[in-house]
Structures are given as C-alpha cells and as structure tokens.
Structure 1
Amino acid sequence: MLAADFTESVRRRADGLIVRWRGLGLRTRLVTGGIGAALLVGLIAWAGGAGAPALDGLGGAVPVVMGTVEKRPTPVFLDGIGTVQPSNTVQVRARVDGEVIEIAFKEGDTVKAGDVLARIDPRPLEANLKQMLANLARDKSQLADARGNLNRLVSIGEFAARKTVDNQRALVAQYEALVAADEAQVDYARTQLDYTVIRSPIDGRTGLRSVDVGNIVHAADTNPLVTVSQISPVSVVFSLNADHLPEIIDGMAAGALPVSAFAKDNKTLLAEGSLDLVDNQIDQTTGTVKLKASFSNADNRLWPGQFVNARLRVSIYEGLSVAATAIQQGPNGAYLWTVDGEGRAAMRSVVVNRLQDGRALITSSLPAGQKIVLDGQYKLQPGALTEAAAPQPEAPVAGSSQPNS
C-alpha cells in the first residue's frame, strides 16, 4: 500500500471517530479537533513504527538478489533415456553332431576372432573324409584308364569303329563327372571336420556357457553353446522427441555430434562418444525417433542392457543467457526485472528460447553485463529502489546425501 493511500485511510477512520463523539454530546469544536488531531498523529506514528508493515518508497530500498545478463558460448543439449547394446553379438552353436570333448574358454573371458572355444569328437568325420578320399582315388584311376583307351582308339584312326570311339569318349566324360563329384564330397567332408573345432567369429567377451564336456550337441540345437558380445566399442540407442529432428540434422551437417552417457543419477559421467545415425523413421505412437551413438568403452563402464541417460550436444548458442530464476511470466509473456545505475527497478520483456541446466537462453536487446533481479521480484514495483542482498542457502532435503566434491 502506498503511503498516500495509507494516510487517507487513517484520516477516514479519524473522521468516523469524530462523528461518533459528536453523537455522544461532544460538541465542542476545540475539544473535538484536538482529540481528532491527536488521534491522527498517533495512528500515523503507529503506522510508521514496528506495528505496521514498511511502505515501499518510505521504508527504504527493497533487498533483492542480483545477477547479470551474460553472453558466452553455451552448449545446447538434448536429453534422452537409452539402452547400452553391444556392437556385435554372436550366439555360438555347434554345426555338426557329436560329443563335446573340450571347452577351451572360461566364462567371462575376452576372446579374439579365431580363438578356439570348444572341440567336438572328430573321429566319425575323419573316417568319413577318408572314405571320400578313397572314392576320389578310385574314380581317378578309372578315369585315367578310360582316357588311355580313348587315346589308343584315336591313334588307330580309320581302323577303329566310329561308334566305339564315341562310346569311349562318353565313358571318359562319365568318369570326369564322378571325379568332380568326389572332389566336392572331399571338400564337404573336410569342412564338416573343421566344424568340430568351434572358434569365436568376433572379438568380444564370452557369457555363460550352456554345455559341459561330455554332452552331445547337434547342429539343430536351438540353445547356443555360448554368446560372445563385443562391448568395446559399444553402442547406446536412445530416443528423442521428433520435433528436434531439424536441429539434430543441422548439427550433423556441421560435423560429428558428441554424446555423453550418464548413470541413473544423471550426474555420474560414464563415457563420451559420438552420434552414429538417426533412425530412418519416426515412431508414430510416441512421436519419438531413435538415435544410435558409439563409445570406445575402453574401461568397460558401459555394459549391454544397462539403462543410461544420453545427452546429445546439437549446437553452441552464442546469444544472451540469464539464470532461470530471473524469468517471470506475465499476461504479455516472459519478462525480467532490471536494475539501473541508481538501483531503480524496471520491467523488460524477453523471449525465452530454451531453459537448460538452470539457465534461460534468451533473445533481448539488453546488453551483456546488465544487472537483473534473480530473487525477491514479488516486492518490486517499477521505479522501486533496490539494494543487493545475499542469496539464501537452499535447505537440505531430508534423507539426501551431498555429492563428493
């Protein structure tokens, strides 16, 4: 309440008391005027003392917490929840039937491509290979004999019947086909024999094995012997609102976009990586799009199946920024309180582009370094005199723990 309004209210109360006194027979103007004046002076004195609230403009400067408008490069981030996925995952299965005679790895081992994981009894397949080699040798011998007979018939010339020569040529072709089939059978038998040694197809880390030595495995088994996952490098798949696609695509056009992976507390940084791709379609049920980022993960802090908070940096904002607490909302939009060189407060409209990490990125004609009010705005009126006050410390939340510095 302004001082003039408050004084007028006191005067009206005094006049009311005078009228009541007149009704009681106090008609002496001198006495009435003296009592009324004394009462008015007393009420005004009471209003200016500890019994009434201080009046803006009369009670001194309004204490407020001040800050400044800053202009500095500010990273613009987009946050999403993601899942860690291995770069490659292979379910290692047996490709031939037989008894497992060796397990050559320990669960959780890091293996290289080509490392032996298990061995299957090779003896039945070795015997089959020998049989195929014997068939090949037999048919080669028959082919050599047929070719020799054909050469002798051809050397005789006109003395050999044409039909006999043609029959011999057909026999040679038949044995050539048999030899080619035998060679294919030998190659197949060798391949089957190679399958008795089970090797890792990729670099990665082994999981839990499902068989032990002595078990019979089959090529038709659905359960793998072991799963090998490549976790260095590793990928994180996360989702963002599809409305952000234009700025993501613009950012990718300027170069690789960095991505940070944080733990569930959104404070512990786990790894730094880069964006690989944006999915080629939007999920219409959620209005989101999936993105995939890769991380070297040399220290194995990211693990397949782990939930992380992914933070994508899409650009660097070069404009003005203020503390988010400075922004107020009015009927005409966002505004803030500025403080001039004399300590007088004024309202200034601003456009808030984004709120991020306790900062408001704004568009305004305010100069960098302009003093603004961060706290205590509810006490202000345009033109009010202000004074700087220390910010109030935040009360600790019960049951919470402070992070280590």
Structure 2
Amino acid sequence: MRPGFAVHGPGASARIPGGTGEFPVYYKALGTPVGGELVKIAFEEGQMVKAGDLLAEIDPRSYQNALLQAQGTLMQNQAQLKNAQVDVQRYRDLYAQDSIAKQTLDTAEALVLQYQGTVKTNQGAVDDAKLNLEFTKIRAPISGRVGLRQVDVGNLVAANDTTFLAVITQTQPISQQATGVLQSLDNQIDVTTGTLKFKARFDNKDQALFPNQFVNFGNTGTFVYVLDGDKKVKVQPLVVGDTDGDNTVIKEGLKAGDRVVLEGTDRLRDGSEIEVVNDSSEVPTTPTEHLQGKPAAKGRPAPPPARRKGRFMNLSRLFILRPVATTLSMLAIVLAGIIAYRLLPVSALPQVDYLTIRVMTLYPGASPDVMTSAVTAPLERQFGQMPGLTQWRPPALAVRRC
C-alpha cells in the first residue's frame, strides 16, 4: 500500500455523515378532571389503542345523582317561568281595559325576565353535570401504545391528580433527528458538539422504533479513504483482524498498491477532490509518526510546501504545523520585550525657576486703612486678572509715621 497526504479541494461533493439520533414523540398522560373510585380498567399494558377508545371508568353514581338534581331544578324553574308568562298575558288584557295599573304589568313582565335568566343558569348546571358524567369514562385522546398503569381498580382517583392512570405514546408516525425524509432543522448550532440538528419523519409501520430510542446510522464499521484515480477519493470499508497495539491485520478491503489518505480525513467525503503533496518515500515509518516536519529522503530535493489549489501555504499554517517552535518564539519575544523595557533611557524632570514679581509701594503719612484701600486692593484686582498666575501671596503692610 502507498499512503499519501490529501488536501480537500473545493470541488468535493457533500454527503450527510453518520451519527446518533433521538426520537422525540407525542405522548399524552391520562388524567381526569373528576374524582372517585376507579371501577373499571379496559386496557392491557403495552396495548395499541385508537383515539376515542374506552380505557377506564370512574364510579359514575354520584355524578348521575348530580345530573338528576340539576335537571329537577331546571324543570321547577321552567314551570315557574311558564306561569309568569301566562300572568303577563292576563295583565296585558286587563291593562288594555284600564282595569289595573301600569306598575302591576311592569312587575309581571320583570318577573318573566327573572325566571328566564334562572332557567338559563339551570340549563348550564345540567350541561356541566352531563360533562362531569362523561368524564367518568376515560378515553384515549390519541392513537398509540399504552404504557404501564399507575393505579388499579378500587383506587381513589382525585381530580387533576399528578399521578396519571397511564401514558399513551404515539409511535405512528414517529420523528427522528438527523436522517430520513427531512422535515425541519434547528435554528442554532449545538455548542457542545458543533453540529446542527435535523429532524426527519418515518411511518414506522412495523413498530421498529420506540420512544426515547437511540439508533446509529450512516457509515458503520471501519473504513479508509482510497484514491480513486489521481484527484478523487472513495470510502472503502475494511474487515480488520488481530492487532498488537501498533499494527492491525486488514483481512478485506485493501490490496497491495492501494493509496490511502493518512491525514486530513476529517475534511473528506466520498468523491472529494484532493491533491497529493507527499509521495510514498516520505510517509511515516511508524504509526505514531506524522508527515509534517519529516525530512526528505536522501538524494531527493525537499518537497514543495503544501498547496491548496495552486496557492502556497500561508504563514498561519506554518505556525500550526510547528507548535513547539511557535511557543518558544513567543516566549523569546516576551522576554526580549521585558529586557528592552528595562533598558529604555528615562530622564528626570528638569529644575525650573518660576518667575516671581515683587511690588513695593511707599505712601508717606498714610494710615493702614488708606494703604489697604488705595494700594493693596487695587493690586489684588490687577494680579487676579493676569493670565498664567498660579500663586498669589498678599503683601505685608509696614506703616511708619513721620
């Protein structure tokens, strides 16, 4: 075999790689908005059911009685309404004959409206009682497979209890991430794996897939990229034999003279275009040795730098291929900077003599008040208006009388 080093070209075709998928499914927890004693269970654990199938029943007797009470109250108020309507008709005839006051007719009509509102309220109570009676029969909300039941016949079931009777899981159809007939894709990259999730849909008619099941798909087993001509590679499955840790026996998949890719395989796909930049004389001699940095064979000129579509290797790739040399160079640059900083010439601040202005005035025969108003105050105002003046010391007054 003659292995080589491959560079992935831009003309390569794309293919979805293998991986692991997860099956998100629809499920429904069986609960009930009414409570009571569980008197019947009509399903077997693991049974396939259809939407609307009867699964369990709660004792309906108390709800039947509540319905009868609501219906009786409704009938009573309906009779009162009918009687009030008959009275209104009589009062209208009497009022037309001017036999009763208008207030009597108005009161009768208001009573009819009152009974009409009561009847509507009673009708709502009857409908609510019928709904509660229907809730005593627990039916499958979706089609799927029933899981393990959590309660038995004779247990008391509370309304909206957190302990469900069972869970129905929809398995037809079923969704799977990553492969299949593409249905949707995620809107962000998974930072833990650096991948984008896809969701596909399967009919699952043979019930081969189950909820929360993980499967492997794509390429299976050991394979290598073999040169198919001079520019493209193909995926070649292998049958491996015994190994001693460093060497492995290849039983099937390769033959003498095949050229396989040793590095850069993470960027390759089946049918990718490549450019071989190392020949068979420059391959590693041991499994732990890499192609990068290996000297050329004696009597041969050094191979040209790795190229991608006719361009020379950039400077950043050189640092990537020489991590130890890059680290030592960075340390040397930092050390040289520290030494140069300590040797930089630094001069002390120069001594500067600042300009000082002294004013002396003589005012023979003047008193201290006169000196302050006639000399000191005008000088302070004038010096305060001078630009650049940073310090001012009031003058000392020396008064001498002659």
> Into which bin does the TM-score normalised by the smaller protein fall?
0.5 to 0.7
Shift of 1:106: 0.1
CA separation of 1:310/1:139 partners in 2, compared to 1, >3 Å: closer, same or farther? farther
CA separation of 1:131/1:375 partners in 2, compared to 1, >3 Å: closer, same or farther? farther
Match of 2:20 in 1: 81
Picking from 151, 170, 184, the partner of 2:89 is: 151
Shift of 1:226: 0.5
What is the alpha-carbon distance in structure 2 between the residues aligned to residue 183 and residue 194 of structure 1?
Answer: 17
Counterpart of 2:93, as a letter, is S
Shift of 1:294: 1.4
What is the alpha-carbon distance in structure 1 between the residues aligned to residue 281 and residue 79 of structure 2?
Answer: 105
- Secondary structure in 2 matching 1:231: coil
Counterpart of 2:50, as a letter, is K
Q: Report if the CA contact (8 A) 2:34-2:136 is conserved.
A: yes
Q: Report if the CA contact (8 A) 2:175-2:200 is conserved.
A: yes
Picking from 211, 218, 233, the partner of 1:322 is: 233
1:331-360 C-alpha deviation (Å, 9 max, x unpaired) = xxxxxxxxxxxxxxxxxxxx999423xx45
Please state if 1:296 is matched with 2:234: no
Q: Report if the CA contact (8 A) 2:84-2:112 is conserved.
A: yes
Shift of 1:162: 1.0
Please state if 1:181 is matched with 2:133: no
Please state if 1:305 is matched with 2:226: no
Shift of 1:293: 1.6
Picking from 114, 133, 136, the partner of 1:193 is: 133
Identify unmatched segments of 5+ residues in structure 2: 5-11, 220-230, 237-263, 286-296, 301-402
Counterpart of 1:149, as a letter, is D
Shift of 1:237: 3.2
Q: Report if the CA contact (8 A) 1:352-1:363 is conserved.
A: no
Instruction: Give matches, 1:198-217, under 5 Å.
Output: 198-217=138-157
Shift of 1:170: 1.0
CA separation of 1:153/1:311 partners in 2, compared to 1, >3 Å: closer, same or farther? farther
Match of 1:101 in 2: 39
What is the alpha-carbon distance in structure 2 between the residues aligned to residue 355 and residue 180 of structure 1?
Answer: 75
1:207-236 C-alpha deviation (Å, 9 max, x unpaired) = 000111111101131011000001111112
What is the alpha-carbon distance in structure 2 between the residues aligned to residue 198 and residue 163 of structure 1?
Answer: 55
What is the alpha-carbon distance in structure 2 between the residues aligned to residue 93 and residue 376 of structure 1?
Answer: 73
Instruction: Give matches, 1:253-402, under 5 Å.
Output: 259=179, 273-284=180-191, 287-311=194-218, 321-323=232-234, 354-356=267-269, 359=270, 361-362=272-273, 378=283
Match of 1:248 in 2: none
Percent identical among aligned pairs is 38
1:50-85 C-alpha deviation (Å, 9 max, x unpaired) = xxxxxxxxxxxxx9699xxxxxx9661133422122
Match of 2:58 in 1: 120
Picking from 158, 165, 175, the partner of 1:218 is: 158
CA separation of 1:98/1:377 partners in 2, compared to 1, >3 Å: closer, same or farther? same
**Structure of larger gyration radius:** 2
- Secondary structure in 2 matching 1:95: coil
Please state if 1:138 is matched with 2:80: no
CA separation of 1:165/1:281 partners in 2, compared to 1, >3 Å: closer, same or farther? farther
What is the alpha-carbon distance in structure 2 between the residues aligned to residue 374 and residue 85 of structure 1?
Answer: 49
What is the alpha-carbon distance in structure 2 between the residues aligned to residue 323 and residue 283 of structure 1?
Answer: 29
Q: How many residue pairs are counted as aligned between the two chains?
A: 243
Q: Report if the CA contact (8 A) 2:175-2:201 is conserved.
A: yes
Counterpart of 1:84, as a letter, is F
What is the alpha-carbon distance in structure 1 between the residues aligned to residue 134 and residue 62 of structure 2?
Answer: 12
What is the alpha-carbon distance in structure 1 between the residues aligned to residue 279 and residue 141 of structure 2?
Answer: 60
Match of 2:338 in 1: none
CA separation of 1:152/1:322 partners in 2, compared to 1, >3 Å: closer, same or farther? same
